Amino acid sequence: MTIRRLPENLVNRIAAGEVVERPAAAVKELVENALDAGATRIAVRLRDGGRTLIQVDDDGSGMGPDELLLAVERHATSKLPEDRLDAIRTLGFRGEALPSIGAVARLTLTSRRRGDDNAATLTVEGGALGAVAPAARAPGTTVTVRDLFYATPARLKFLKIARTEASHAQDVLERLAMAHPQVAFELTLDERVALRLEPAADPATRIASVLGGEFGAAAIDIAESRDGSAIAGSIALPTFNKATAASQYLFVNGRPVRDRLLLGAIRGAYGDTIPRDRHAALALFLTVPTPALDVNVHPAKTEVRFADPSLVRALIVGSIRRALTQHAGRTAPTLGTDALSSLRAYSGSSGFAPRFVAETPSPYFEQAPLALGAAPSARAEAVATQATPASFPLGAARAQLHGTYVVAQTQDGIVLVDQHAAHERLVYERMKSALEAGAVPRQALLMPVVVELDSGGVDRVLSRADDLASLGLVIEPFGHGAVLVREVPAPLAQGDATALVRDLADELAEFDDAAPLRSRIDAVLSRLACHGSVRAGRSLSVDEMNALLRQMEHTPLAGQCNHGRPTWIELKLADIERLFERR
């Protein structure tokens, strides 16, 4: 076959497949055009999820009759005055959106420039261009898209139901609204107003309007800068996590993005504070110098490239970790709400059976104390015994339930603590501190322990022998299919060395050679801490429970264990009284 040029209308339809893959993509392109035109109010109407109607109305700068014809030509744009792709300061710049939409739908543009006597209108149907005609309209632009993909019927088969397509469009609009809080937005779905946002004074106010009160109650504000780049926004406490990453709103220079570098940095920043199958909730605004950013990566413009990705990652990870550490004493208020809901559902059953502990101390903390040194001093125990609800944020210990949960009384409620999860975090943070100081204490075993493993497990453990030794675990080969454990970290002296090594072999299997050493070390430390923590079912004295509470109050990220589970839940007295209909 001979080479030939494709017809212009077919070229436009092919290009439309990259730019306009669903109604939400068309909404994104049209709203971005309105924002670039300086609009202060933008109204979006959808019918049938955007299949039959998408209309975007704005009060921006508008276009004249001559510009309407250029606007529907491919690669015609007003947004690159100096033809420099390394100095893009607008959301759009390719000049592809309107011609792509016009190639697959019935497109009508009606616009009026400020100062013009009349508006003008132009229609494009399936790539066929109509004539410019006079029209009536206030300054600004209205873009109407009817029968999306009527010219490419195959694409219609891949659209979801109307409700799903509408939800994608709303998500797009909410992300753009967060990036531009000074602009008013309205979304109407099938004649029903689904979203109405008035101009906000700052991004934080707009974020609260979009994400709601639950996010606001669990949010931490961050603002840092480094070497000309800056980050600001709100991040949720680790205990306020989601099943998907849909609640991660990321912006680079005012542009909503879904970038793998940023998503990976967020996952690393939250690290051992949320479960592996859960995701953080946040809204982050990253600002980098324009020459250090490439937005010309993908037609959808949701991916970017950074000239210095390591700087960006360090800025994100460092700022999130510092913020989480500063707010280590907080947990998401929704934990208490969820607990109360569970109690209401449980109200018809037999209830709880608390065990009020006696004053005879358990020998556990003499063998593996909360601190990595000696057992708590007599003075510390005396202070803990005298603790009153108003003395400390986590209150005073009052009971232990089922040998697992500590109940503490605060000034205005109660706190429930998972003793194993809480102590696991304490041990983990102390071991990290000791590692950074180069002084993880070891305990030589009187009788070395032989641990049998499969050949792969032996290879994995021995290949990390030096790293494990730096963490206090000394192992060596022992024949075929086994290793010998000679020393363990001091807090694990009374633990099960066999179970520990087998768990570590499984843990190391999840890391490939490309995984950062710090990630490997943190994962191993987490496993060590789990084996060295007070177990569920162990009886604790009042002094030991209060010692646990006091150390939680001074330990970073004590609101969740190394696996991301919450360590404590607070129930306010007012909520408990409502539970019993006292209010």
Q: How many residues does the chain have?
A: 583
Domain 334-583 top-level CATH class: alpha beta
Cα(95)–Cα(532) distance, rounded to whole angstroms? Answer: 61
The distance from CA 483 to its chain's CA centroid, rounded to whole angstroms, is 40
Edge-to-edge strand list for the sheet holding 248-252: 219-226, 229-236, 282-287, 248-252, 255-257
CB distance 157 to 13 below 8 Å: no
Q: What pLDDT is recorded for position 18?
A: 57
Q: Report the candidate in 198, 276, 275, 205 with the shortest Cα–Cα distance to residue 234.
A: 205
- Give the DSSP letter of residue 537: T
Q: Which residues pair with 129 in a beta bridge?
A: 124
Query: DSSP string covering 328-376, please?
Result: TT---THHHHHHHHHHHHHTTS----EE---S---THHHHS-SSSSSPP
Structure tokens at 456: 């792969």
For the chain, domain boundaries: 8-197, 203-326, 334-583
Q: Calculate ∠ Cα 52-53-54, nearest 5°.
A: 140
pLDDT band at 293 (very low <50, low <70, confident <90, very high): confident
Structure-token pair, residue 52 = 């039959």
Percent of the chain scored above 70 by pLDDT?
A: 77
Q: Is the pLDDT of residue 141 over 80?
A: yes
Confidence band, pLDDT 50/70/90 cuts, at residue 375: very low
Among left, alpha and beta (phi > 0; psi -120 to 50; other), residue 539 is beta
pLDDT, one tens digit per residue, over 449-495 is 999 988 788 888 898 888 788 778 899 999 888 999 999 877 666 66
Residue 389 has pLDDT above 70, yes or no: no
What is the tens place of the pLDDT at every residue in 235-287? 998 888 888 888 999 999 888 888 888 998 998 888 878 887 788 999 999 99
The CA distance from 365 to 374, in Å, is 9
Q: In this predicted structure, which of 181-190, 381-390, 391-400 has the lowest mean pLDDT?
A: 381-390
Residue 359 pLDDT more than 60? no
User: Is the per-residue pLDDT at 225 higher than 80?
Assistant: yes
Integer angstrom CA distances of residue 544 from 337, 384, 476, 538, 582? 28, 8, 37, 11, 34
Q: From CA 256, how far away is CA 171, in angstroms rounded? A: 11
Q: Measure the CA–CA gap between 125 and 104, rounded to whole angstroms.
A: 8
Q: What fold characterizes domain 8-197?
A: Heat Shock Protein 90 (3.30.565)
First to last CA, the chain: 84
Return the minimum-mean-pLDDT range out of 82-86, 112-116, 492-496. Answer: 82-86
Beta strand segments in 162-281, E: 184-189, 192-197, 219-226, 229-236, 241-242, 248-252, 255-257, 279-280
pLDDT in tens, 531-561: 666 666 678 888 889 999 998 888 888 888 8
Task: Judge if pTM exceeds 0.75.
Answer: no
Beta strands in 87-206 (DSSP E): 106-112, 119-125, 128-129, 133-135, 140-146, 184-189, 192-197
Distance of CA 256 to the CA centre of its chain: 15
Name the 3-class secondary structure at 157: coil
Mean pLDDT score of the chain:
80
DSSP, res 85: T
pLDDT range class, residue 384, cuts 50, 70, 90: very low
Q: Which residues pair with 110 in a beta bridge?
A: 121, 142
φ and ψ at residue 202, rounded to 5 degrees: -155, 165
Are 203-326 and 334-583 the same fold in CATH?
A: no
pLDDT confidence tier of residue 386, bands split at 50, 70 and 90: low
Phi, psi of 568 (to 5 degrees): -150, 155
β-strands 184-189, 119-125 pairing: unpaired
Assigned token pair, 178: 């967060």
Backbone angles phi, psi at 199, to 5 degrees: -55, 140
Domain 203-326 class, CATH top level: alpha beta
Is the confidence at residue 79, as pLDDT, over 60? no
CA gyration radius for the chain? 30
CA atoms within 13 A on the CB side of 441: 12
Q: For residue 448, is pLDDT > 80?
A: yes
Q: Confirm if 68 and 122 have CB atoms less than 8 A apart.
A: yes
Weakest mean pLDDT among 72-76, 126-130, 272-276: 72-76
